[in-house]
Amino acid sequence: METSVQNPSENDRFRDHLSFENDHGGRRWLYPRVENGPLLRRRTVVAVVLLAALFGGPFLSVDGHPLFLFNVIERRFIFFGVPFWPQDFHLVAIGLITFILFISLFTVVYGRVWCGWACPQTIFMEMVFRKIEIWIEGDHNARKRLDAAPWTNSKITKKVSKHFLFLLISFLISNTFLAYLIGKDELFAIMTDDVRNHLGGFASIVVFTGVFYLVFARLREIVCITICPYGRLQGVLLDKSSVVVAYDHVRGEPRGKIRKGETLKTGDCIDCALCVQVCPTGIDIRNGTQLECINCTACIDACDNVMAKVNRPKGLIRFDSLEGIEKKVPLRFTGRMKAYTAVLLALVGLLTYLLVSRSDLETTVLRAPGQLFQREAGSYVSNLYTIEFVNKTTRSLPVSFRVSYPGARIRLVQPVGQAAPDALTKGVFFILIPEKNLRDSNTKLEVEVVSNGKVIDRIQTSFLGPTH
Ligand code: SF4
Ligand code: SF4
């Protein structure tokens, strides 16, 4: 039997060096090994579903609207087929706060599962680009040998084919990304129309393609480790009771290689380093939870395979909390997890309620700015107003409005009978009130908006009159 006695400075290297950094401060290129296992199979299923949703998203529509649209330039946003107008800004703000809180609370309790299982960066890197690389260049050892080998025709062919496919997929991602920003129809116009009419759109496709290619061909794990703000937050979000991919040091240490016929005097870790070889961010999870760990679970599959071979229980690396490992208590749904989950559910419930109860028609009434009152025939006093209807549905809605004030009547200047679908419709009108009915120079009024025989909105406004 041989217990692992490593150079202490080598053991501690992870403390002050990034995993992708070599001893000279340059890039240490990683060649992660791929080990099959139940978690990889599940991740593959999740990735296929999410990729199908991502690429299909811009082409799906609900009630005439695309499923998602994030048109920042024109300030048009659609989530799950529901359009959001600037008037819905409070909902977007609440949604963003809920999202940030959700991510924070979720991470505090369940760790970085998002990164390993659902983040587009990980899914594209591990399930698309890495697979192409393995398909063309071979497994981790073959890839390492190829990079070290001189430039031969075979190497040039492999590298050119790989980077051509990388560019092609980056181009596809770029188009999909743009479709989420400007909508599929506008994207088709850029693709099919004269390029001179869409220089901005064409330039965006080129720039996005370049960025995605750079991310997946060169930056790779650097994105997760140093660029992604969510990754950088892990240090403040995780604590001893957060559930993360963790090495059971109580059971595993002291680690040591095993030899046939020798009595076992070590912990369960046989120091095979397979968990390090499979890690896409190049870390050794046996050093404890680290910022670089994206919870991809590759090391769990790898270690479980090793444990099965040496007839030791699986789960030496598993989803667990540091507290659970040290106190040797099985993973359970603690009071803290229940409380945080309840808060998460409450937030999602609140947002759902606000979305469901959102009105289809939003009305704004504004007195014409800079205008005072006018005296009219019959001892009436009039004020000029504009009315705006934002119809958030895909069907035209009949609209009318009335004023509830003694003797008040409305004279339409720019009439509105229908609020156009998915658009803003404007009208202009006068409110006339008999002067004798005005008690004040500034009278509060209520405009009732009626659609399909129902009062759907009540808007407060003011009416200026002569001083009494
Ligand atoms: S330590 Fe394990 S879970 Fe974390 S990134 Fe590496 S392989 Fe994935
Ligand atoms: S794969 Fe398991 S047994 Fe091998 S070094 Fe990692 S923790 Fe130890």
Q: Which amino acid type is present at position 276?
A: V
Question: Which structure tokens are listed for 128?
Answer: 């698309």
Pick the range with the lowest mean pLDDT from 197-206, 293-302, 344-353.
344-353
Q: What's the pLDDT at 1?
A: 39
- Ligand 2 midpoint to CA 7 (Å): 19
From residue 290, alpha-carbon distances to 8, 9, 16 in Å are 18, 18, 12
Confidence of residue 103 (pLDDT cuts 50, 70, 90): confident
Positive or negative torsion for Cα 189, 194, 199, 204: positive
Q: What is the mean pLDDT of residues 92-110?
A: 79
pLDDT, residue 88, reads 77
DSSP H or E stretch at residue 239: none
Of 442, 438, 439, 431, nearest in space to 376 by CA: 431
pLDDT band at 264 (very low <50, low <70, confident <90, very high): low
pTM of the model: 0.79
Class of domain 361-464: mainly beta
129: nearest Cα among 64, 10, 47, 252: 47
User: Is 300 close to ligand 2, i.e. is its CB under 6 Å away?
Assistant: no
Q: In whole angstroms, what separates CA 26 from the centre of its chain?
A: 31
pLDDT at 8: 42
Q: Whose CA is nearest to atom 4 of ligand 1?
A: 293
Q: How far apart are CA 146 and CA 140, in angstroms?
A: 10
Q: How far apart are the first and last CA of the chain?
A: 104
* Ligand 1 binding pocket includes 278 (Cβ within 6 Å): yes
What is the structure's pLDDT at 263?
A: 58
Measured from the CB, is residue 285 less than 6 Å from ligand 1?
yes
Reported as half-sphere exposure (CB side, CA atoms, 13 A), residue 276 has a value of 13
Q: Is 225 in the pocket of ligand 2 (CB under 6 A)?
A: no
Nearest residue (by CA) to ligand 2, atom 4, is 272
Looking at ligand 2, which residue's alpha carbon is closest to its atom 7? 269
Residue 5 has pLDDT above 90, yes or no: no
Q: Is the CB of 279 under 6 A from ligand 2?
A: no
pLDDT in tens, 362-375: 888 999 888 889 99
Quick: pLDDT tens for 376-421: 888 899 999 999 988 887 788 899 888 988 999 999 998 888 888 8
> Distance from the CA of 36 to the center of ligand 2, in angstroms?
15
> Which of the four pLDDT bands, split at 50, 70 and 90, describes residue 6?
very low
Q: What three-state secondary structure class fits 317?
A: strand
Cβ–ligand 1 distance for 303 under 6 Å, the answer no
Atom of ligand 1 nearest to the CA of 317: 2
Alpha helices in 198-294 (DSSP H): 199-214, 221-222, 229-232, 234-237, 249-252, 274-277
Of the listed ligands, the closest to the CA of 300 is 1
The pLDDT-based confidence of 157 (bands split at 50, 70, 90) is: very high
| Least trusted range by pLDDT, from 8-22, 363-377, 442-456 | 8-22
Distance between CA atoms of residues 110 and 319, nearest Å: 9
Whether the per-residue pLDDT at 129 is higher than 50: the answer is yes
Tell me, using a 6 A CB cutoff, whether residue 299 lines ligand 1.
yes
The total of other beta-carbon atoms located within 10 Å of residue 216's CB is 22
125 touches 220 (CB < 8 A): yes
- Is the shortest distance between the CB of 289 and ligand 1 below 6 Å? no
pLDDT confidence of residue 16: 78
Domain spans in the chain, listed from the N-terminal domain onward: 1-358, 361-464
CA-nearest residue for atom 8, ligand 1, is: 296
Does the Cβ of 215 fall within 6 Å of ligand 1?
no
Please state, in angstroms and rounded to a whole number, the distance separating the CA atoms of residues 283 and 285: 6
pLDDT of residue 125: 97
Query: What pLDDT is stored for residue 358 in this prediction?
Result: 78
Mean confidence (pLDDT) of the chain: 87
Q: Averaged over 115-143, what is the pLDDT?
A: 96
Asked whether the beta carbons of 367 and 462 are under 8 A apart, the reply is yes
User: Residue 231: is its pLDDT beyond 70?
Assistant: yes
CA gap 35, 315 in Å, rounded: 16
Ligand 2 atom closest to 268 (CA): 3
**Partners of 115 in beta bridges:** none
